[in-house]
Structure 1
Amino acid sequence: MPQFDLAVFVPQLVWLTVFFAILYFGVVALTLPKLGRVMETREATVTGDIAAAETAKADADRMAEEYDAGIEAARHSARDTVGAAKGKATAALEAKLAQGNSANDARLAAAEADLAGARSRALSEIEGVAADVAADIVERLTGARPDATAATAAARGALAA
């Protein structure tokens, strides 16, 4: 094989080194700057994206805090409004209850007065009827009718007991 012939081996090795150096430095000289620029561009893009993401996260966190504060303020306001409405409703209800109670008390007093009057009239009529019945019974048993005042006094005494 001619590649292993020592007479041509050293010149082949020299030419291999020359061509390798030309190709290597030619490729490196042309490719490395482009590769460096691409890497720098990607690094700048990634760094910019990370910075933008951090800024967006900070903005989102701030907005979330503002939202939570707004919700809490709205809840507090709603609690105050509900409490005020309850207070007004309770006061109005108590006023109506007091008005209704006073009207009921007035009607109750009038009804008790009417009842007392009806009771006294009924008792006086019962006394009269009892006196008449007692006088009739005494007249049937004895044959003589007793005095009306005595019969009324006896009926009143019997009803009081």
Structure 2
Amino acid sequence: MPQFELANFAPQMVWLCIAFAILFFGIVMPTLPKLGRVVQARADKVTGDIDSAAKAKADADRIEADYAAGIASAQESARATLDAARGSAAAALDAKLAQSKAALGARAEAADKALGAARAKAMGEIERVAADAATQIVEKLTGTRPDADTATGAARAALA
């Protein structure tokens, strides 16, 4: 193999260095700046995308916080409205109950008066019937009719 002979080694090394220099300075050197610009552009785009994503996340977090605050405010407002409605309903119910209680009290008092009058009238009738019955019984047993005041007093004493 000619490439491994020592006599051919030095010229092959020179041609290797020349070929390397041509390839390095002719191909690699012009393309390195272009490659660097592409890599830098990609890095800048990734950094920009990360920054815009961070801004979008911050905006989304702010919107979420505003939404949560709005929900909490609406819930508090609804609770306050509900409590006010419950309070007014309870007050209206209490007023109606007081009115009904007063009306029932008046009706009960009127009924008690009517019952007392009916009881007094019934007791008067019972006394009269008892006095008449006692007068007739005494008259049948003794043959003499007692006076009305004595019969009424005896009936009243027996009923009491």
Question: TM-score range, shorter-chain basis?
Answer: over 0.9
Alpha-carbon distance in 2 for matches of 1:20, 1:141: 167
* 2:124 equivalent in structure 1: 124
| Number of the residue aligned with 2:18 | 18
The Cα shift of 1:72 comes to 1.6
2:26 and 2:108 map into 1 onto residues whose CA distance is 119
Residue identity opposite 1:24 in structure 2: F
Q: Which runs of 5+ in 1 are unaligned?
A: none
Tell me the amino acid that sits aligned with residue 49 of structure 1.
D
Partner of 2:33: 33
Give 1:122 shift.
Answer: 0.5
For 2:152, the equivalent position in structure 1 comes to: 152
| Structure 2 unaligned spans of 5+ | none
Can you list the C-alpha shifts for 1:41-87, whole angstroms capped at 9, x where unaligned? 11111111111111111111111121121112112211221122122
- Cα distance in 1 for residues equivalent to 2:45 and 2:104: 85
Counterparts of 2:104 and 2:129, CA distance in 1 = 36
How far has the Cα of 1:136 moved from its partner?
2.5
Question: Are 1:134 and 2:134 an aligned pair?
Answer: yes
Q: Which region of structure 1 is more displaced relative to structure 2, 116-125 or 88-97? A: 88-97
State the Cα distance separating 1:138 from its structure 2 match. 2.1
CA distance in 1, matches of 2:134, 2:26: 153
State the Cα deviation string for residues 83-117 of structure 1 (Å, max 9, x = none): 22122112211221121111111111111111011
Q: Output the CA distance in 2 between the equivalents of 1:25 and 1:147.
A: 162
Runs of 4+ in structure 1 over 6 Å off: none
Matched residue count: 160
- Alignment partner, residue 73 of structure 1: 73
Query: 2:110 is matched by which residue type in structure 1?
Result: A
Does residue 1:47 correspond to 2:40, yes or no? no
Q: Distance in 1 between matches of 2:20 and 2:134?
A: 157
What is the percent sequence identity of the aligned residues? 61
With the length of structure 1 as denominator, give the TM-score of the two structures.
Answer: 0.92
Q: Which residue of 2 aligns with 1:59?
A: 59
In structure 2, C-alpha distance between the alignment counterparts of 1:34 and 1:50, rounded to whole Å: 24
RMSD of aligned residue pairs (Cα, Å): 1.4
Letter in 1 for 2:74: A
Counterpart residue number, 2:86: 86
Q: CA deviation at 1:155?
A: 0.6
